[in-house]
Amino acid sequence: MAEGRFQVRRRAGVRLWLSAAWLILLVIVALFAPYIAPKDPLEQDLFSGRLPPFWVHGADASFVLGTDSLGRDVLSRIIFGTRIALGVAVVSASVTCIIGAALGLLAGFYRGWVDVLVSRFIDIWMAFPPVLFSILLIAVIGPGLFSIILAIVVIDWTRFARVIRAEAMAQGAMDYVASARVAGRGRFGILLREILPNVLPIIVVLLTLEMGIAVIVEAILSFVNLSISTDDPTWGGMISEGRTSIHQAWWVLVFPLITLFLTVLSFSQLGEGLKDRFDPVLR
């Protein structure tokens, strides 16, 4: 065979580590939020509303990143917002993954009527306008954390199912599956022990990308005033609340936006980085 293609150390390594570092930081912040946050995120003081960040003239040093129109500390709210953001991201992404991947694997591997059934189901499901459907859905069960997660799962499981189905079909056609069957292995056994491990990398990549999408969807839903109903702070909620006084109190919108942006960017770069690692062609 011709000389092996030369494996080039990917420059993306730097970006991969930066995103991983940011996400780990987020996890720590989410876990130890009560100890890290300087103030109680819900504590209000109408008379210390819209204080600027500490470096701006007229700031109150104890409110490091300033306060919003109700006098609540922006930094603490971002810190507590991390909990919901990661919670929504992890839970909705994994539920989406479980449903989507399971259906995808079944359809892709067993083919036949299972495949037809699942594909038809995917088609019908994808025929719904996503944002409109989630608004309708949230109108049914009322805004709140659970409905955001459900909305994300409802919109995005088809993406998982489609990709995993294609991958399962491709793997199913591989010789190692035939040989496993020859060795007398049951079909379900093959699916679990042979196909799944090979499809797992793709699932991990999609899972990471999905977490980024979940964070964005929460922001979009808060923009349409459908996000969480209780007082608990969410980045999306802070952004949409900050929108009306962008000129007077820019920090109420800008800081949660930066946090949201960095988080979603980290998820997507991590996803891309993992994809490069697993992608057979570039390995």
Partner 1 sequence: MALLQTLLLRMITTAVTLLGVAVIVFFVIRVVPGNPIAMMLPPGATAEDIATLTAIYGLDKSIPQQFLIWAGGVLQGDFGTSITLKQPVLALVLGRLPATLELSVLALGMAILIGGAAALTGTRLRETRVEGGIDIAQGVALSVPDFLWGLVLILVFGVLVPVFQISGRVTPSLQLPFVTDFYLVESVVRLRFDLTLDLLSHMLLPALALAIPLAAIIGQLLKQSLKETMHLDYVTLARTQGYSEAKVIWSQALPNAILPTLTLVGVQFTFLIGGTVIIERLFSYEGLGNMAIDAVINRDLPLIQGIVILFAVIFTGVNLLVDLTYAALNPRLRHG
Partner 2 sequence: MNLSRRSLLKLSGAAIAASVALPSFAQAIDELVIAYNVPLPSWDPTTGPSAVNPTIQGLYQSVFDQFILQQPDLKPAPGLLTEWGWNDDKTQVHMTVREGVTWHDGSPFTAEDVAWSLERAANPETGNPINFVWASLANFKVDGNTVTADVKQFDPTIFKWMYFLTGYVLPKEYYTKVGAEGFEKAPIGTGPYMVEKFEQNAFVRLKANANYWGGKPDFDTVTIKFVTDAAARVAEIESGSSHVTLEMPYEEYDRLKGGMNAYATPVSDIGMIFLNDIDVMLDPNVRKAAVAAIDKQAIVDRLLSGYGVPIDTLETPEYDAYDATIKTPYDPDAAVALLAASGYSVDKPVKFKIQTTKGFKPKDYEMIQAIVGLWRKVGIEAEIEVYEIAKHYELRAADQLAPAAFYNWGNSVADPTTSTGFAMFGPSPHSVWDSQDLIDKIGPLWGEKDEAKRIEGWKEVDRYIAENAYVIPLLQYVQPILAAKGVTVTPHSSGALLPHLMKRA
Partner 3 sequence: MSFLEVRNLSARVKGGGPLLRDVSLTVEVGEVRGLVGESGAGKSMIGKAVLGILPKAVEITGGQIVLDGTDLLTLPPAARRVKVGASCALIPQDPLTALNPSRRIGVQITDRLVDILGWTRQRAEDRALALLTEVQITDPARVLRQYPHELSGGMRQRILIASAFAAEPKLIVADEPTTALDVTVQKQILKLIAALQARHGTALLFVTHDLGVVSKVCQNLSVLYAGKVVEDSTVADFFGAPKHPYSAALLAATPKYTDPSAGLQPVPDAVIAAVRAEVEHG
Residues engaged in binding partner 3 (CB under 8 A): 1-6, 8
Structure tokens belonging to residue 117? 């059934």
Token pair recorded at residue 248 = 């007077």
Candidates 29-37, 102-110, 135-143, 157-165 — which segment interacts with partner 2 by CB under 8 A?
135-143
Site string for partner 1, 220-239 (x = CB under 8 A): x--xx--------------x
In whole angstroms, what is the distance from residue 251 CA to residue 135 CA? 28
Q: How far apart are CA 88 and CA 100, in angstroms?
A: 17
User: C-alpha angle 207/210/215, rounded to 5°?
Assistant: 135
Q: Judged by CB under 8 A, does residue 169 bind partner 1? A: no
Q: Minimum distance from CB of 3 to partner 3 (Å)?
A: 6
Q: Scanning residues 183 to 222, which ones bind partner 1 (CB under 8 A)? A: 212, 216, 219-220
Nearer to partner 3, 6 or 113 (CB): 6
CA distances (Å), 78 to each of 37, 119, 225, 236, 252, in order?
Answer: 9, 41, 19, 10, 10
Contacted by 4, from partner 3, partner 1, partner 2, none: CB < 5 to 8 Å by type: partner 3
Say which amino acid occupies 183: A
Cα gap 222→78, rounded to integer Å: 15
Residue with tokens 């459900």: 150
Shortest Å, Cβ 264 to partner 2:
15
If binding is defined by CB under 8 A, does position 130 make contact with partner 1? yes
Q: Write the DSSP string, 99-148.
A: HHHHHHHHHHHH-HHHHHHHHHHHHHHHTS-HHHHHHHHHHHH-SSHHHH
Among 129, 186, 189, 197, binds partner 1 (CB under 8 A): 129
State how far the Cα of 232 lies from the Cα of 87, in Å rounded to an integer.
Answer: 13
Residue closer to partner 1, measured from CB, 120 or 193: 120
Query: Quick check: 250 binds partner 1 (CB under 8 A)?
Result: no
Residue number, 37 or 138, with CB nearest to partner 2:
138
**Which one of residues 49, 87, 257, 278 is an interface residue with partner 1 (CB under 8 A)?**
257
The answer to whether residues 215 and 260 touch, using CB atoms and an 8 Å cutoff, is: yes
Strands (E) located in the chain = none
Among 231, 258, 279, 282, binds partner 2 (CB under 8 A): 231
Q: In the complex, which residues of this chain contact partner 2 (CB under 8 A)?
A: 42-44, 46-47, 49, 69-71, 139, 142-143, 225, 229-231, 241, 243-249
Binding residues for partner 1, rule: CB under 8 A, are: 5, 8, 11-12, 15, 120, 123-124, 126-133, 135-136, 139-140, 212, 216, 219-220, 223-224, 239, 243, 257, 260-262, 264-265, 268-269, 272, 281-282
